[in-house]
Amino acid sequence: MLVRRTFLLVTVLSLAGCGSGGAGGSAAATPAFVEPSTAATTPAAEAVPAAAEVTLPVTAASPSTTPSATPKPTATTTATTTATTTAKVRYVFPVKASNVAFHKTHAKYPATDIFAACGKPFVATTSGVVLEISLKDRFRKGSPDGPYNGGLFVSIKGDDGVRYYGSHLSKVLPGIRKGARVKAGQELGKVGKTGNSSGVCHLHYGISPPCAKSGDWKVRRGVVWPATYLTSWRKKGQKSPVAAVAAWNKKHHCKA
């Protein structure tokens, strides 16, 4: 009889342990929300070991909510944003013509003359916003270098943060005005020979940081050699001048 009672006692205790484990969440939660007076008089309040066991996982999970874990999603978001921004920037060769040539160098400062027949389309190198236009040829032969050398021109600030400038145009298209939004490959004007062009049809092409955005003609006309980028874009490549322009500006601070 004693053996039978002992067996029944062990069985009851075993069932209590399994029940505690199966409902561990609710049993552990009870001490956290009961009033202190109740906890002092109820058996659940005496289950301190059980409450301690539930507290440990919560403490272990706490680091995931601390600031130390924050950089991970932030870095991911930043990387995604950068990748998306980069993917949206597309480069195209600035003149639409089958018969076109350009020099790798330029007199006095970094720029390129792109030779094509008068009237050929001058297009936006990339998507962006028009910064400045000239609709009148104010250049006078024999005058020193100055803001009128380009004749008719258009400059845009690309979505990559770089300024692209094309001058000696015979015409600026209607709708191309300061603040206008343009797409990569959108026609801005026509190749011409206005300004100090030596009477030869071509597009003067310059790459620079936006700096003053308008009026800063010494920077606007070009500060970074364009030939390597033009070569890429002509072959449908996507070489970007962003790094070169940033490096120039870091050194010169918009002073050409």
Residue 56 reports pLDDT greater than 70: no
How is residue 61 written in tokens?
A: 């999970």
Q: What is the mean pLDDT of residues 163-181?
A: 99
pLDDT digits (tens, 9 = 90+) for 92-108: 999 999 999 998 999 99
pLDDT digits (tens, 9 = 90+) for 220-241: 999 999 999 999 999 999 999 9
Q: Between these two residues, 75 and 184, which has the higher pLDDT value?
A: 184
> Whole-angstrom distance between the N-terminal and C-terminal Cα of the chain?
107
pLDDT band of 50, cuts 50, 70, 90: very low
pLDDT band of 88, cuts 50, 70, 90: confident
Report the pLDDT value the prediction gives residue 87, as an integer from 0 to 100.
Answer: 52
Q: What percent of the chain has pLDDT over 70?
A: 66
CA distances (Å), origin 230, targets 74, 225, 234: 36, 10, 6
Q: What is the mean pLDDT of residues 6-29?
A: 40
Query: Which domains are present in the chain?
Result: 34-61 (no CATH), 90-252 (2.70.70.10)
Cβ neighbours of residue 138 under 8 Å, at least 6 residues apart? 148
* Nearest residue to 170 (alpha-carbon basis) of 196, 142, 137, 140: 137
Q: What is the DSSP string of the chain?
A: -HHHHHHHHHHHHHHHHHHHHHTHHHHHHHHHHS-HHHHHHSGGGG-HHHHHHHHHHHHHHGGGGSGGGTHHHHHHHHHHHHHHHHHH-----SB--SS-EE-S--SSSS-EEEE--TTPEEE-SSSEEEEEEE-S----TTPPS-TTTT-EEEEEEETTS-EEEEEEESEE-TT--TT-EE-TT-EEEE-B--SSSTT--EEEEEEE--TTSSS-HHHHT-SS--HHHHHHHHTT-----HHHHHHHHHHHTT--
Cα separation, 215 vs 221, whole angstroms: 11
Report the pLDDT value the prediction gives residue 6, as an integer from 0 to 100.
Answer: 42
Region of poorest pLDDT, from 50-59, 98-107, 212-221:
50-59
Report the pLDDT value the prediction gives residue 1, as an integer from 0 to 100.
Answer: 46
The alpha carbon dihedral of 184, 202, 233, 229 has a sign of negative
Residue 165 reports pLDDT greater than 60: yes
Q: Between these two residues, 54 and 169, which has the higher pLDDT value?
A: 169
Contact assessment for residue 168 and residue 159, using Cβ atoms and an 8 Å cutoff:
no
Q: What is the mean pLDDT of residues 157-161?
A: 99
